[in-house]
Amino acid sequence: MAGSYSLYRCAVLATSTSMLDSILDRNSPIHMLRLSVQMGGETYAEGLDLKAEEFYDWMRSHPEEKAVTSPPDIEALCQTFHYLKSQGYQEAIITTISGKLSETAAVIRKAVQTMEGKLKIHVVDTGTTCMPEGFFALEAVRLLQAGKTAAEVVAYLEKLKPRCEILFGVNSLTQLTKTGGLLRIGAAFNDWLGLKTVLRFNHKGASHLASVQDDEQLIERLIEAIIVMTVDKNPTHLVISGGYCGDYQLYQRFARKLHAKTGLHLEHGIPVSPVVGTYLGLNAVGVGIVERLPE
């Protein structure tokens, strides 16, 4: 009873860049806060009226056009918070995409100010995105169900941040250049334009790991980086998830080779959210790695 009561008192919300739309069902207690993509003169809420594969189909059909992303709307956020209050929630935990990648956390904090004295809201900038970001929300639910208080959950999530890594191999950096993503992730990749690139991202920021000529080299370098990052880790403590932008066959090649070389199995993989895919571009493939905290 204690666990279910804690979850009733405290809502859990996640931003749509977490890729949770691909794994959660309608009965999930996690509420989604949706970022938007503007393309072709229209605005779409990702995961709601724009699915990932639809977005990548559009990118393939409109290679010269630019998509633009935006954080959740402040008015919509305030409406969500008032709804939670009306449903009897006393607190809320919001896990967000890294502030190094998006202004979303700052926008959410601004909306949270309107609820002062009405609903206690904890905003956790996860320092990451994609499935590692989603893991924060899943852990929040698990801990609340176990009877932890919201404050205890937030303290746990803060300790989780340094234990998250994302590796992505991108086919081209052109999309990053078009969207201004180069500036947003804080690295100058212009020297590598035209090459396939392996990128690393964690709570400290982004870094360049390798520039290669073809997909086979890209896969090899990704696997080498994964081996280095996991060599001294207990496999049972690792949560490893795969993602891709539009090219599932490339992802399958990567997943099969990773399994053959390391024994790691990535299941089927999940398409990256449209907002993140806007910056990675087509034919990107990679993994998120989270090292669980000891119980």
| Res 294: pLDDT | 85
| Res 154: pLDDT | 98
The H-or-E segment that residue 172 falls in is none
Nearest to 100 by CA among 55, 161, 154, 42: 161
Tens of pLDDT along 163-208? 999 999 987 666 555 455 444 443 444 444 457 889 999 999 888 8
Tens of pLDDT along 22-33? 888 888 999 999
Distance CA 130, CA 203 (A): 13
> Start-end ranges of CATH 3.40.50.10170 in the chain?
2-161
Q: What are the distances in angstroms from CA 152 to CA 46, 122, 157, 175, 295?
A: 31, 11, 9, 40, 13
Q: Kindly report which listed range (148-152, 183-187, 204-208, 252-256) carries the lowest average pLDDT score.
A: 183-187
| Strand ranges in the chain using DSSP code E only, listed in sequence order | 10-15, 30-33, 36-39, 42-45, 68-70, 91-96, 120-125, 164-170, 196-202, 205-212, 238-244, 270-271, 285-291
| Res 107: pLDDT | 97
Distance CA 35, CA 43 (A): 10
> Which residue bears the tokens 């907002």?
275
Structure letter (DSSP) for residue 214 = S
> Start-end ranges of CATH 3.30.1180.10 in the chain?
162-291
> Which residue bears the tokens 């990749």?
189
Average confidence (pLDDT) over 57-62:
95
Neighbours of 22 (CB within 10 A): 18
CATH number of 2-161: 3.40.50.10170
Domain 162-291 part of CATH 3.30.1180.10: yes
